[in-house]
Chain A
Amino acid sequence: MPRETFQQELDGLVSDVLDFGEEVKDSLENMVRAMEGRDAGAARQELGVDIRYKTWGMDIERECMILQARQAPVARDLRLLYTVQSVTNHLVRSGTLCEHICHAIVDTEGCERDEDLETALVEMARTARNVFNEGLDVFENRDIERARDLQAKDDKVDLLYSESMNLIANPTEGGGGAPEWRMRAALMVHYLERISDHGVDVGGSAVFLVTGQRIEDAMQQYLDRNVDQDAG
């Protein structure tokens, strides 16, 4: 096949992004474990990942730039490079947010906590992790049908976000946990919501990669088609 070397370079790039994704998945897994078990030791393992992930992201971006300069990619190759850069950015951001959350866990070790809020936070962390993992799987397998379902799964994270914010804003009398912990909890809620959004975007990038359409446009066409069928 012509352009065999270029194809190998593209395959290598995708493989690198997937390896990167696996590492971020491990970090998120550690974060969830730390939240479930109030385990500051587990959270401590993730301190410092941010700089490593940023460096990894820059390496991938540099590879993309070199391939664009040397190989003048078009069509599916161009879409792949664009997608790789976009997914890499989501991975770096998710890794950074994960480290922020782990910092909060370490910093608030031993602080009094609100049980209901902590339960909601842990549930939110599990769900956000699941959405992120599924987004990465959708990207790896280019499964555009599942990409459409990811948005619905992210809605659960949004509901937990509202519930958690409500508990933070309206603590029960004598409850609410230590102020420092509650303040950090507000930030964690926001970070978890963003991690889930990054997962949705990673999955959505598979739609662009395969079809050249933005997932929003593809979703709209899908909905319009169903409306037409229902009307018919």
Chain B
Amino acid sequence: METEKTGRERKVSEVSRDQRDARKKGDGAAPGDGLTLGMKIQDLSAFYGSFKAVTDVSIDIQANKVTALIGPSGCGKSTFIRCLNRMHEVIPGARAEGHVMLGEQDIYAKTSDPVVIRRRVGMVFQKPNPFSKSIYENVAWGARINGYRGDMDELVERSLKHAALWEEVKDRLKESGHGLSGGQQQRLCIARTLAVEPEVILMDEPASALDPVSTQKIEDTMDQLKQDYTVVIVTHNMQQAARISDYTGFFYIENMGDPGQLWEFDETEKMFSNPERKETEDYVTGRFG
């Protein structure tokens, strides 16, 4: 009797074909129809004072998938990702317009609390930024101030395991987080983000400051994380986007001084083999940017 194959046992092309079939059934709707929605962004624009940096982005972020955002410098990728947990507005004069649905909640609704939103949508930055505390406290801190009342030891261990760091630090949890290597520090920051149990993890060039081995560990970690979380990553490394993501969005500025816009969004396999738009193809093949 033929049994249904799991995702791990199936070829990449089989999985992609199923996703594409699901999309076709949706009569040409956005990528990922038929999958669980992680975030739904509608007509999102971002401003720095009177300058519009990103315009009218509408995109569905699928749950338990990695979505990569690529594009040339200054096209609004990082601005956009910071809008997804209301980090953009902490910059004086910065604001966002539009809708970002996280489940049933519009994170830009007047009733939405930015602090709660940032707990539900965690963020990992380009440069590792551990606290000047022990490894243990780095992970426990966020959960503690959010009122976590469970078994803290268990939470720290679970978070470090999820971030693929536990085996390397389990015997020195009391040592300073600053004593770790750059790659370990970044995974510590991922563990710290996981400890507050977010639904979505945003990563802004998380491996750009790391050596190849550390980068590989972060990429492997992301592959594991998507089983439990929705991941959105900004990266300038197109091969990284091709390796780790399920969906890719290409941001582009049409003319100098214009706001950045989401130029093309599709399954990563399609974006890196046969994108629809010339500008996307020129960018992914390295002809500009």
Contact = CB atoms under 8 A, between A and B. Distances in A.
Interface of A: 1-3, 6, 72-79, 211-212
B132 interface: no
Given A2-B286, A6-B286, A76 B281 contact: yes
Interface of B: 238-239, 242, 272-275, 280-281, 284-289
Contacts of B238: 74
B287 A74 contact: no
A75 B288 contact: no
Contacts of A1: 287
Given A3-B286, A75-B274, A75-B275, 19 more contacts: A1-B287, A2-B286, A3-B287, A6-B286, A72-B239, A74-B242, A74-B272, A74-B273, A74-B285, A75-B272, A75-B280, A75-B284, A75-B285, A76-B281, A78-B272, A79-B273, A79-B274, A211-B274, A212-B274
B204 to A, nearest CB: 23
B251 to A, nearest CB: 17
Contact of B287 (A2, A72, A212): A2
A76 B289 CA distance: 17
Nearest to B280: A75
B62 to A, nearest CB: 22
A203 to B, nearest CB: 19
A64 to B, nearest CB: 16
A77 B238 CA distance: 14
B50 to A, nearest CB: 33
Given A2-B287, A73-B285, A78 B273 contact: yes
Given A74-B238, A74-B242, A3 B285 contact: yes
B273 A75 contact: yes
A212 B280 CA distance: 15
Given A79-B273, A212-B273, A212-B274, A74 B284 contact: yes
A78 B285 CA distance: 9
Nearest to B270: A212
A1 B282 CA distance: 11
A216 to B, nearest CB: 16
Nearest to B274: A212
B224 to A, nearest CB: 24
Contacts of A77: 285
13 contacts: A1-B287, A2-B288, A3-B285, A3-B287, A6-B286, A73-B285, A74-B238, A74-B242, A75-B275, A75-B285, A76-B285, A78-B272, A79-B273
A75 B280 CA distance: 9
A157 B239 CA distance: 45
A99 B289 CA distance: 49
Nearest to A73: B285
A77 to B, nearest CB: 5
Contacts of B242: 74
A79 B273 CA distance: 7
A211 B272 CA distance: 13
A35 to B, nearest CB: 42
Nearest to B272: A74
Across chains A and B, which 6 residue pairs bring their CB atoms closest together, nearest first?
Answer: A212-B274, A74-B272, A3-B286, A75-B281, A74-B284, A77-B285
